[in-house]
């Protein structure tokens, strides 16, 4: 379920909606207002007056307490040693400036730099974090009714951003990396490594299996319903979670029924025509041809929970997925 409130000033209706669905589902809100329906960066307003950071370790939370100026609002996101801090600005600034300051805040506090994107959604106060059993309340820890902070006062206390931090767009998703190789356009390295020409459509016959995505028909995409549906070729993976057929984990994680075609409306953007494909083979995973998001069971779970696939986040994610997907009755 995605709701878009117009005009943005209807905070009363947004609050009522959050409280109505909080007992049944995880609730995330966009930090930056949208000017139209959609979850991409191009759907956001052009300027805003807030910067933020996601503190996901005890050290980051301790560093946040000592940082000045103090944030105007802090939300406890339901996980131990995890909170979101927001600084309300006295001036509106472009989105690029907001993202740059967010990354520098993350660098200063040792927080999660992945949450610096302007299009980020974070858990709403008043909802519940359902990653835990029983669910844990997402609480408003503090909120100061002052005029806000000057951006210059925040920036002068932050370290410079690493010159090795590179930004590139992939299917409308902005990726940041410290590796110069990771900033090479996929079209360039794909042609160099495979000697296959990538046309204007960006589609090529996959070199790893005999059927390309473009040639797959509805009759080819039949959902597997248990681990017994995994082919013997897929069983070479050392990770049992990567053996779970995508229709199985997609249904369990999202609650959406995957039909015979394997096509669904994407959860991560305003998708009027089904553009997300859930493939039957464990090795192929899922992919949305509308927004470019896709990957494995880990990528889906991370996107749904607002976490990353690295460090402590990944270990916690894997434990939860093992409980959900691998504790199946014997077939």
Residue 10: its pLDDT value, please? 74
Residue 229: its pLDDT value, please? 41
Q: What share of the chain is helix, strand, coil (3-state, %, to 5)?
A: 35, 20, 45
pLDDT beneath 70, residues of the chain: 7-9, 162-184, 208-238, 327-331
**Residue 9 has which token pair?**
């000033």
Residue 218: its pLDDT value, please? 34
Query: For 295-331, what is each residue's pLDDT tens digit?
Result: 889 889 989 888 888 888 888 888 888 888 876 444 3
**Domains of the chain from N-terminus onward:** 11-161 (3.30.70.1790), 164-199 (no CATH), 219-331 (3.90.580)
Residue 141: its pLDDT value, please? 93
Give the separation between CA 150 and CA 82, rounded to whole angstroms: 26
Residue 186: its pLDDT value, please? 78
Query: For 281-296, what is each residue's pLDDT tens digit?
Result: 877 889 888 888 888 8
Residue 8: its pLDDT value, please? 58
The number of beta carbons lying within 10 Å of the beta carbon of residue 180 is: 9
Give the separation between CA 38 and CA 205, rounded to whole angstroms: 31
**Residue 229 has which token pair?**
């549906």
Q: What is the dihedral of CA 168, 174, 180, 182, to 10 degrees?
A: -100
Nearest to 167 by CA among 155, 179, 151, 154: 179
- Indicate yes or no: pTM above 0.85: no
């Amino acid at each position: 379920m995605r709701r878009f409130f117009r005009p943005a000033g209807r905070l009363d209706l947004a609050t009522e909606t959050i409280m109505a669905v909080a007992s049944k589902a995880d609730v995330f809100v966009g930090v930056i207002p949208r000017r139209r329906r959609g979850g991409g960066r191009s759907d956001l307003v052009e300027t805003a007056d807030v910067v933020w950071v996601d503190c996901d370790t005890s050290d980051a939370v301790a560093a946040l307490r000592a940082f000045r100026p103090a944030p105007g609002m802090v939300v406890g996101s339901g996980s131990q040693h995890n909170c979101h801090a927001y600084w309300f600005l006295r001036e509106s600034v472009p989105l690029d400036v907001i993202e740059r300051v967010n990354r520098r805040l993350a660098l200063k506090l040792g927080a999660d730099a992945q949450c610096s994107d302007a299009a980020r959604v974070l858990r709403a106060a008043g909802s519940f974090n359902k990653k835990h059993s029983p669910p844990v309340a997402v609480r408003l820890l503090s909120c100061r009714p002052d005029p806000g902070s000057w951006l210059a006062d925040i920036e002068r206390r932050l370290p410079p951003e690493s010159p090795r931090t590179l930004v590139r767009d992939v299917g409308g998703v902005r990726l940041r990396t410290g590796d110069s190789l990771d900033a090479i356009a996929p079209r360039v390295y794909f042609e160099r490594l495979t000697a296959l020409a990538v046309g204007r459509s960006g589609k090529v016959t996959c070199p790893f299996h005999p059927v390309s995505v473009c040639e797959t028909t509805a009759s080819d995409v039949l959902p597997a319903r248990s681990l017994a549906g995994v082919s013997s070729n897929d069983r070479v993976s050392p990770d049992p979670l990567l053996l779970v057929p995508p229709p199985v984990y997609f249904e369990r994680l999202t609650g959406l029924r995957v039909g015979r075609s394997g096509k669904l409306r994407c959860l991560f953007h305003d998708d009027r025509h089904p553009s997300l494909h859930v493939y039957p083979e464990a090795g192929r995973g899922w992919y949305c041809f509308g927004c470019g998001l896709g990957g494995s069971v880990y990528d889906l779970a991370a996107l749904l929970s607002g976490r990353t696939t690295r460090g402590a986040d990944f270990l916690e994610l894997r434990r939860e997925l093992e409980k959900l997907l691998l504790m199946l009755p014997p077939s």
